[in-house]
């Protein structure tokens, strides 16, 4: 059976310990969301598929009867096999860059796109530095956090430089 990368996000998070679908989404939003988004609409169907395939097991817990999932041995094997495969997806979606790419149709919008991207990068940097300061990221998660910080710093600097260059060209 073929699984989506989101399924492997779920397996990876369950390898850290049992979680509900809600917990997985919260963890995604605090961590991998910076480079791999996953919505409830993706997570819950994947939880069902993974459970049907025997890669995870769910158990209802608590007064709200929330289902908490754990990875099975078969799931751990599938995750390890996937981790050994060469990555196939290297894409990013960035509307500011798309608008900048198409700005020949309205050149006066280019600086605004760069400024919007700069604000986004600065906000992202703030969140990433908060995670770094908390000490919650260790091992390989700290390595990915460093990547996020350094690449965001570069992007913010690039946005500042290019916005200034465009302002000078149009002055």
Same domain, yes or no: 99 and 66: no
Indicate whether 29 belongs to any domain. Answer: yes
CA distance 94 to 117: 9
Residue ending a domain, among 84, 112, 142, is 84
Phi, psi of 71 (to 5 degrees): -80, 140
Q: Give pLDDT, residue 17.
A: 96
Write a three-state SS string for 40-53.
Answer: HHHHHHHHHHHHHC
Classified as helix, coil or strand, 118 is helix
CA distance 85 to 79: 10
Residue ending a domain, among 63, 84, 105, is 84
Indicate whether 90 belongs to any domain. Answer: no
Domain that holds residue 106: 95-170
Same domain, yes or no: 166 and 107: yes
Using pLDDT thresholds of 50, 70 and 90, give the confidence band for residue 96.
Answer: very high
Q: Give pLDDT, residue 90.
A: 85
Indicate whether 134 belongs to any domain. Answer: yes
Residue ending a domain, among 45, 62, 84, is 84
Domain count across the chain: 2
Beta bridge partners of 67: 60
Using pLDDT thresholds of 50, 70 and 90, give the confidence band for residue 69.
Answer: very high
Same domain, yes or no: 41 and 13: yes
Asked if residue 6 lies in contact with residue 43, where contact means CB atoms within 8 angstroms, the answer is yes
Same domain, yes or no: 79 and 129: no
Mean pLDDT for the stretch of residues 47-65: 92
Provide the 8-state DSSP code for 19. E
Beta bridge partners of 109: none
28-39 per-position pLDDT tens digit:
998 898 888 899
Same domain, yes or no: 122 and 142: yes
Helix H or strand E segment including 28: helix 21-30
Indicate whether 159 belongs to any domain. Answer: yes
Our CA dihedral for 158, 161, 167, 171, rounded to 10 degrees, sits at -150
- Whether 89 shows a pLDDT value over 90: the answer reads no
Q: Give pLDDT, residue 64.
A: 76
CA distance 5 to 83: 11
Indicate whether 116 belongs to any domain. Answer: yes
Same domain, yes or no: 142 and 111: yes
- Whether 74 shows a pLDDT value over 80: the answer reads yes
3-55 per-position pLDDT tens digit:
999 999 999 999 999 999 999 999 999 889 888 889 999 999 999 999 999 99
106-145 per-position pLDDT tens digit:
999 999 999 999 999 999 999 999 999 999 899 999 999 9
Same domain, yes or no: 31 and 9: yes
Indicate whether 65 belongs to any domain. Answer: yes
Q: Please provide the distance, in angstroms rounded to a whole number, between the alpha carbons at the two ends of the chain.
A: 59
């Amino acid at each position: 059976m073929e699984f989506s990368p989101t399924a492997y996000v779920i397996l990876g998070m369950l390898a850290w310990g049992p979680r509900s679908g809600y917990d997985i989404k919260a963890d995604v939003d605090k961590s991998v969301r910076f480079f791999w988004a996953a919505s409830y609409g993706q997570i819950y169907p994947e939880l069902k598929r993974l459970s049907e395939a025997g890669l995870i097991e769910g158990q209802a817990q608590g007064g709200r009867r929330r289902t908490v999932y754990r990875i099975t041995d078969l799931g751990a094997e599938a995750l390890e096999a996937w981790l050994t495969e060469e990555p196939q997806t290297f894409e990013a979606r960035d509307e500011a860059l798309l608008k900048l790419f198409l700005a020949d149709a309205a050149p006066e919008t280019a600086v605004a796109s760069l400024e919007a991207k700069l604000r986004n990068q600065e906000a992202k940097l703030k969140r990433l530095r908060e995670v770094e300061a908390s000490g919650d990221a260790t091992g390989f998660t700290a390595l990915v956090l460093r990547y996020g910080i350094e690449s965001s710093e570069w992007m913010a600097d690039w946005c500042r430089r290019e916005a200034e260059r465009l302002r000078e060209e149009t002055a």
